[in-house]
Structure 1
Amino acid sequence: MPLSLLLLLILVLLLEDAGAQQGDGCGHTVLGPESGTLTSINYPQTYPNSTVCEWEIRVKMGERVRIKFGDFDIEDSDSCHFNYLRIFNGIGVSRTEIGKYCGLGLQMNHSIESKSNEITVLFMSGIHVSGRGFLASYSIVDKQDLITCLDTASSFLEPEFSKYCPAGCLLPFAEISGTIPHGYRDSSPLCMAGVHAGVVSNILGGQISVVISKGIPYYESSLANNVTSVVGHLSTSLFTFKTSGCYGTLGMESGVIADPQITASSVLEWTDHTGQENSWKPEKARLKKPGPPWAAFATDEYQWLQIDLNKEKKITGIVTTGSTMVEHNYYVSAYRILYSDDGQRWTVYREPGVEQDKIFQGNKDYHQDVRNNFLPPIVARFIRVNPTQWQQKIAMKMELLGCQFISKGRPPKLTQPPPPRDSNDLKNTTAPPKIAKGRAPKFTQPLQPRSNNEFPAQTEQTTATPDIKNTTVTPSVTKDVALAAVLVPVLVMVLTALILLAVCAWHWRSRKKKTEGTYDLPYWDRAGWWKGMKQFLPAKSVEHEETPVRYSSSEVNHLSPREVTTMLQTDSAGNCGLGARERKTRLQVAAKCCGTCWVF
């Protein structure tokens, strides 16, 4: 057996009781509490001969682990004897093998699941000619839509989709093109673009919501969250991310944050060769504002720039730039973020599960903007930027990103603004600020029994308030709302019914008046009235016209006076067509019968 293989076997035996990652064959590795990413050494280049690496992965109790491969390329010339990847259930001597894998360009489309919350991955290489190695991602099994760090938008056909990105997708060998809000080129790895956009954490991973749309001719370059996107050219499609919308500017550029709310540890002041005095005060640290920036008098790690937001805000990010002046190549290249509720006790921002302070990537020149996001967001009133590295002098402009903070059931915190600083203190204050390594718990005294006449004394009150006795009874809002919800519909129904009854009564009364009115004709005369009105109606057609009744003189003598009157009324419509002599004759006959003298 070759000496190199013997050494490998000895190393494997030593690694059985080792930590989460051991060996000389380990590549890019991020092992998060719920997800992570691991690669072989030199990936995606050829892995070296005679290497070994073992990863021990643990998630919380009750969960199981799912592993998915983005790429697998391990030489199989020796039938997986010396070059292979082995996966075990459990950790240590009690572990059991799930499978042993090798092969160049092996398509590992299926995922591998453990039986418990622990799993071991062992990579070993012997003498070989080619092979990139592997890239794998893992998550708890609840994340059904897990993807790997190599997946791009072109891998999916849906115009909109949601996927789970594992931790560790900030790959040193991958690149993306694009920015927010313009979008990212479809060839960009989804999860790495999500880190750049600030929608997912490289340390924790997380869910992303992607929207595919038509591509654009040119993709800009930018630096954000320690990821540099490169210039990209025309593509058929691009993708953007759906976000919560809490990424608006908080007022440095617009002036919503007033000058007195911006303070600093010191201010750079000098007189130039023309005799003009220059003062780069804190209020000059407004992003996009023309002119000089804020600059510190001292150049040490105890300098800071502080923003008072007047009340608690949800802060999701920060954008910084350098001096923006070509003649002054000053900028901050790295910094810490501190936050506070009262301006006195400060907490350094750390990523979840990490014991070290988060050092943010700053600017690389004096004029380009650099964005960093806070995942999870900061909820605070005061923000401090504490530079740790800089170019020549500490100088910067900045803007905060975020939105209003809506407290859910938490009482508002009463805080006082920090006392105003003396102008001499601003010029050169090198005393280090008090930095808390974690948020200290707040201790409060238990409430004392309340007397009948007064409220209990406030134990941690930071503002003086008078002792006010409550002399009014607070109404029960819930009961009033429920009562109103019942009474209002009932009142509306009753009012509607009364209106309908009034309308019906008025209508009935109007009809009754018409029936019994003063000017109504008696019942016995209605038929004659109607016949008299017929003369004003249009004449009937000729074919339906009836022949008028003619009476002879002898027939008229036998008619009664009432019948003669009826006859006259009947013939009145036809008299217009008779001659004057005939009309006169008829009227004389009628007058004779009725005993009436007609005068013409």
Structure 2
Amino acid sequence: MAGFGRHFFFAVVLCMVIITVCAQPSTTLTDRVSSFYQPFGVQDDTIITDGQMTASSQLNGSEAFRGRLNGDGAWQPSGPVSGQGTESLAVDLLYARYIFGIQTQGQGDGYIETYRVIYQRDNTSNVILYSEGGGSAKIFTGNSDDETIVQNNFTPYIYARYILVNPQTFSGASRLRVELLGVDELPITSFPTTTPSWTTTQSAVTTTTSTTPLLTSSATTTSTRTAEAGTASQGPNTAVTGN
């Protein structure tokens, strides 16, 4: 009887382990990689230079290169911002990378409430509206004040060189600061269990999970400081595919 009791006990424990494992929610690649992806350095002009940031239009004093997370300025378009509009802030990462998330801030007297994202693998390919599951272009929920950082994750992730943020609605003034998050290469075998130190969160971060493709961006204009930084690229293509 003692032997039967031990076998019965081990059988019960094994069943409990199996039930616990099966009950665990499935995780996406974005969920797993989020434990160690890093900011690409948009907030640091020695990493992402002024010449790598362009815009469809810009106000004097609110040029594209000022649209850096935690910076003392922000990008603001000179044209109107509205749903399905073409105003956009573009970041050139110089080569295609795996992008898993974006952080946004407003600044001063305004912020972007909702926006879409478009991307382009290189400057010879079409610009694509981001969507989840092949559906319609998705609208991101942006900021609700001018300082809090709001993070949105991309599921699925984006593999691209160019990322464009297309504001849809705003409060006060259409002012925007951004940072992009991701990795240069996807992990093959295992995922680190520790989270690296963040360099982008000087303000509180609110995280949501949403995404959105963007409309076509009109020809981007380089910032007034591009000459100081040198020419980074030819800039993103303006042809758009997607819903």
For residues 298 and 366 of structure 1, the distance between their equivalents in structure 2, rounded to whole angstroms, comes to: 20
User: Contact 1:299 / 1:393 at 8 angstroms: preserved in 2?
Assistant: no
User: Contact 2:54 / 2:222 at 8 angstroms: preserved in 1?
Assistant: no
User: Contact 2:96 / 2:122 at 8 angstroms: preserved in 1?
Assistant: no
Per-residue CA deviations over 1:565-594 (Å, capped at 9, x if unaligned) read: xxxxxxxxxxxxxxxxxxxxxxxxxxxxxx
- Residue number among 166, 169, 179 corresponding to 1:386 in the alignment: 166
Aligned residue number for residue 56 of structure 2: 265
Label 1:284 to 1:243 Cα distance change in 2 as closer, same or farther (>3 A).
same
Label 1:298 to 1:314 Cα distance change in 2 as closer, same or farther (>3 A).
same
Per-residue CA deviations over 1:45-82 (Å, capped at 9, x if unaligned) read: xxxxxxxxxxxxxxxxxxxxxxxxxxxxxxxxxxxxxx
Ranges in structure 2 where 5+ consecutive residues have no aligned partner: 1-19, 189-218, 225-237
Which aligned pairs between 1:314-463 and structure 2 lie closer than 5 A?
314-323=98-107, 325=108, 328=109, 330-343=110-123, 345-353=126-134, 355-405=135-185, 421=221, 433-437=238-242
- Residue number among 283, 298, 320 corresponding to 2:79 in the alignment: 298
Correspondence 1:249 to 2:69: no
Per-residue CA deviations over 1:182-227 (Å, capped at 9, x if unaligned) read: xxxxxxxxxxxxxxxxxxxxxxxx338xxxxxxxxxxxxxxxxxxx
- Residue number among 24, 27, 38 corresponding to 1:207 in the alignment: 27
User: Which amino acid in the other structure matches residue 311 of structure 1?
Assistant: Y
Per-residue CA deviations over 1:7-44 (Å, capped at 9, x if unaligned) read: xxxxxxxxxxxxxxxxxxxxxxxxxxxxxxxxxxxxxx
Per-residue CA deviations over 1:508-531 (Å, capped at 9, x if unaligned) read: xxxxxxxxxxxxxxxxxxxxxxxx
Per-residue CA deviations over 1:66-115 (Å, capped at 9, x if unaligned) read: xxxxxxxxxxxxxxxxxxxxxxxxxxxxxxxxxxxxxxxxxxxxxxxxxx
Label 1:361 to 1:407 Cα distance change in 2 as closer, same or farther (>3 A).
same
For residues 310 and 331 of structure 1, the distance between their equivalents in structure 2, rounded to whole angstroms, comes to: 27
Structure with greater helix share of residues: 1
Residue aligned with 2:51, SS: helix
Which aligned pairs between 1:205-244 and structure 2 lie closer than 5 A?
206-207=26-27, 243=33
Label 1:380 to 1:349 Cα distance change in 2 as closer, same or farther (>3 A).
same
Larger RCO, structure (CA 8 Å, separation 6 or more): 2
Label 1:422 to 1:332 Cα distance change in 2 as closer, same or farther (>3 A).
closer
For residues 148 and 187 of structure 2, the distance between their equivalents in structure 1, rounded to whole angstroms, comes to: 36
Q: TM-score, normalised by structure 2?
A: 0.64
Q: Give structure 1 regions of 4+ aligned residues with deviation exceeding 4 angstroms.
A: 241-244, 419-424
User: Which amino acid in the other structure matches residue 239 of structure 2?
Assistant: K
For residues 223 and 35 of structure 2, the distance between their equivalents in structure 1, rounded to whole angstroms, comes to: 39
Q: Note the C-alpha offset of 1:253.
A: 1.6
User: Which amino acid in the other structure matches residue 40 of structure 2?
Assistant: L
Q: Note the C-alpha offset of 1:407.
A: 11
Q: Note the C-alpha offset of 1:331.
A: 0.6
User: Which amino acid in the other structure matches residue 309 of structure 1?
Assistant: L
Q: Which has the larger radius of gyration?
A: 1
Q: What is the root-mean-square deviation of aligned Cα atoms in Å?
A: 2.8
- Residue number among 135, 139, 145 corresponding to 2:22 in the alignment: 145
User: Contact 2:106 / 2:177 at 8 angstroms: preserved in 1?
Assistant: yes
Q: Note the C-alpha offset of 1:341.
A: 1.4
> Identity over the aligned pairs, expressed in percent?
30
Aligned length: 174
User: Contact 1:348 / 1:436 at 8 angstroms: preserved in 2?
Assistant: yes
Which aligned pairs between 1:534-545 and structure 2 lie closer than 5 A?
none
For residues 220 and 141 of structure 2, the distance between their equivalents in structure 1, rounded to whole angstroms, comes to: 31
Ranges in structure 1 where 5+ consecutive residues have no aligned partner: 1-142, 147-162, 165-205, 209-240, 270-278, 409-418, 425-432, 439-600
For residues 70 and 148 of structure 2, the distance between their equivalents in structure 1, rounded to whole angstroms, comes to: 11
Label 1:144 to 1:372 Cα distance change in 2 as closer, same or farther (>3 A).
same
User: Contact 2:51 / 2:222 at 8 angstroms: preserved in 1?
Assistant: no
Residue aligned with 1:377, SS: strand
- Residue number among 302, 305, 313 corresponding to 2:97 in the alignment: 313
User: Which amino acid in the other structure matches residue 27 of structure 2?
Assistant: Q
For residues 259 and 361 of structure 1, the distance between their equivalents in structure 2, rounded to whole angstroms, comes to: 27
Aligned residue number for residue 285 of structure 1: 67
Residue aligned with 1:283, SS: helix
Per-residue CA deviations over 1:379-416 (Å, capped at 9, x if unaligned) read: 110000011111133211010000113699xxxxxxxx
Label 1:352 to 1:397 Cα distance change in 2 as closer, same or farther (>3 A).
same
Q: Note the C-alpha offset of 1:145.
A: 1.8
User: Contact 2:121 / 2:161 at 8 angstroms: preserved in 1?
Assistant: yes
For residues 402 and 379 of structure 1, the distance between their equivalents in structure 2, rounded to whole angstroms, comes to: 10
